[in-house]
Amino acid sequence: MPKFETTRTVSHSPRQMFDLVADVERYPEFLPLCEALSVRLRKQRDDKTLLVADMTVGYKAIRETFASQVLLQPEELVIDVKYLDGPFRYLDNRWSFEPHGEGGCAVKFFIDYEFKSRMLGMVMGGMFDRAFRMFAEAFEKRADTIYSAQPSA
């Protein structure tokens, strides 16, 4: 039942960071272990967007695909991810973005998960722990690349 939680302060606005994390189709371009991601359902209701996405992660010869429900809440600057199907017993993930300093943002990342298979957990567990620790940094680097030439919004 590994959990990981972190808060990183970045020099980009909460909305910029929300938009970056919400752009799930781009994850394979920069996110550690993410080899593919496809959105199979997208529903808009009021100001919220619900996605169902399949993400393939890989490490050496191991590949696993899992489905998640992603709720994008731009007014609250929150993204909730709920596990649907794949190699986990459960997976809960939450991102939140709060104003910090002059145009900056505190990015809060939380994930709690457990693999269904004890063997898969032993093989991939340590690697997943390292990857999740790198996720927030990967998003920060991506934001620096995308938004460095743009003023904060």
CA atoms within 13 A on the CB side of 11: 9
Edge-to-edge order in the sheet of strand 78-85: 3-10, 104-115, 88-100, 78-85, 62-73, 48-59, 34-45
Using pLDDT thresholds of 50, 70 and 90, give the confidence band for residue 149: low
Over residues 13-40, the mean pLDDT reads 95
pLDDT the model gives residue 116: 85
Mapped onto helix, strand or coil, the DSSP state of residue 113 is strand
CATH H-level, domain 3-147: superfamily: START domain (3.30.530.20)
Spell out the residues 6+ positions from residue 75 whose beta carbon is closer than 8 angstroms to its own. Answer: 47
pLDDT, tens digit (0-9, with 9 covering 90-100), for 71-120: 999 999 999 999 999 988 999 999 999 999 888 999 999 999 888 888 77
pLDDT the model gives residue 4: 84
Handedness of CA 74, 78, 84, 86 (dihedral sign): positive
Is the pLDDT at 17 greater than 90, yes or no?
A: yes
